[in-house]
Amino acid sequence: MSNSILASNSLFPIPCTERLSFEPAKVGLKTRTIALGRSLGVRRLRLKCNFSGKERTAKKQQQQRKSGEDAIDPVGFLSKVGISDRAFAQFLRERYKALKDRRFDLCSRFTDMNEASSGYEILGMHRHRQHRVDFMEWAPGSRYCALVGDFNGWSPTENSAREGYFGHDDFGYWFIILEDKLRDGEEPDEFYFQEYNYVDDYDKGDSVNVDELLQKIDDDYWEPEEKWYRNSRLEFVAKLYEEVFGPNGPQTMEELGEIPDAETRYRQWKEKQPSNSDTKKPCYEVIDHGKVYDIESVILDPVSKEKFRTKKPPLAYWIEMRKGRVAWLKKYFPSICHGSRYRVYFNTPNGALERVPAWATYVLPVADGEKSCAVHWEPPPEDAYKWKNIRPKIPKALHIYECHVGVSGVEAKVSSFNDFAIKVLPHIKEAGYNAIQLMGLVEHRDYSSVGYKVTNFFAVSSRYGTPDDFKRLVDEAHGHGLLVFLDIVHSYASADEQCGLSLFDGSNDCYFYSGKRGHHKHWGTRIFKYGDVDVLHFLLSNLKWWVVEYLIDGFNFHSLSSMMYTHNGFATFTGEMEEYCNQYIDKDAFIYLILANEMLHDVHPEIITIAEDTTFYPGLCEPISQGGLGFDYWVNVSVSQMWLWLLEDVPDHDWDMNKIVDVLVKNNQRSDKMLLYVENHIQSISGGKSFAEILLGKREEKIFDKDEMLSRGSSLLKMMKLITFTLSGSAYVNFMGNEFGHPYRIEFPLPSNNYSYAHAIRQWHLLMDGGIHSNLFNFDKDMMRLDESELILSKGPPNVYHVNDSLKVISYIKGAILFVFNFHPEMSYELYHIGVEEAGEYQIILNTDEGKYGGHGMLRGEEYLQRTLNKRVDGHRNCLALTLPRRSAQVYKLTRILRV
Residues recognised as catalytic:
612
Q: Distance (Å, rounded) from C-alpha 512 to C-alpha 493?
A: 9
Instruction: Tell me which residue of 107, 112, 118 sits closest to 56, measured CA to CA.
Output: 112
CB count within 10 Å of CB 814 equals 21
CA–CA distances in Å: residue 236 to residues 93, 231, 239, 242, 249? 65, 9, 5, 10, 16
Structural contact between residues 635 and 613, judged by C-beta atoms closer than 8 angstroms = yes
Structural contact between residues 792 and 817, judged by C-beta atoms closer than 8 angstroms = yes
Burial class (CB in 10 A: 0-12, 13-18, 19+), 210: middle
Maximum separation of any 2 CA atoms in the chain, in Å: 127
Instruction: Tell me which residue of 98, 107, 251, 190 sits closest to 594, measured CA to CA.
Output: 98
Instruction: Tell me which residue of 504, 208, 466, 489 sits closest to 343, measured CA to CA.
Output: 504
Q: Distance (Å, rounded) from C-alpha 292 to C-alpha 128?
A: 57
Q: Distance (Å, rounded) from C-alpha 521 to C-alpha 419?
A: 38
Structural contact between residues 764 and 777, judged by C-beta atoms closer than 8 angstroms = no
Q: Distance (Å, rounded) from C-alpha 701 to C-alpha 679?
A: 23
DSSP string computed for 624-674? GGGTS---SEEE-THHHHHHHHHHHHS-GGG--HHHHHHHHH--SS-GGGE
Q: Distance (Å, rounded) from C-alpha 415 to C-alpha 15?
A: 55
Cite the beta strand spans of 397-497 per DSSP E: 398-404, 435-439, 442-444, 454-460, 483-488
**What residues contact 260, with CB distance under 8 A and at least 6 apart?**
268
Going across the sheet that includes 132-138, the strands are: 124-127, 132-138, 173-179
Per-position b or e across 148-168, b if 16+ CB within 10 A of its CB: bbebbebebeebbbbeeebeb
**What residues contact 723, with CB distance under 8 A and at least 6 apart?**
660, 664, 810, 819, 821, 889
- Phi and psi angles of residue 548, each rounded to the nearest 5 degrees, phi first: -80, -45
Q: Distance (Å, rounded) from C-alpha 552 to C-alpha 547?
A: 5
